[in-house]
Amino acid sequence: MMYTTWGSVRQGCDHAHKSIETALDCLHRDQSGTASQGGYSDRSIRVLEPGDSASAYDTQRGPGRPLTEEEQEEIIRIEHERE
């Protein structure tokens, strides 16, 4: 499974990350970068199913699919471990 980050305003990072951890790092870099400019990032992590592209997608729907509740819990666990 691959991951990417996308938001309806900022759109995507266009990367296909090999792990949820690297997608989370990408998300945090985007959040930091936009905050340093006085803005905020609307991106979230998305799951790329086989055949999905991180860079060619419907710009209204976004790439892949949103995280499941179980995948969101994995993000929370990872962030707690990093504290």
The boundaries of the domain holding residue 24 are 2-82
Indicate the Cα dihedral angle 64, 69, 73, 75, nearest 10°.
Answer: 20
Instruction: Say how many domains are in the chain.
Output: 1
| Mean per-residue pLDDT of the chain | 96
Q: How far is CA 63 from CA 1, 24, 32, 55, in A?
A: 13, 16, 22, 8
Residues 51 and 83: their CA atoms lie apart, in Å, by 35
The predicted model scores a pTM of 0.91
Per-residue pLDDT of 61-81, as tens digits, reads: 999 999 999 999 999 999 999
Residues 39 and 10: their CA atoms lie apart, in Å, by 11
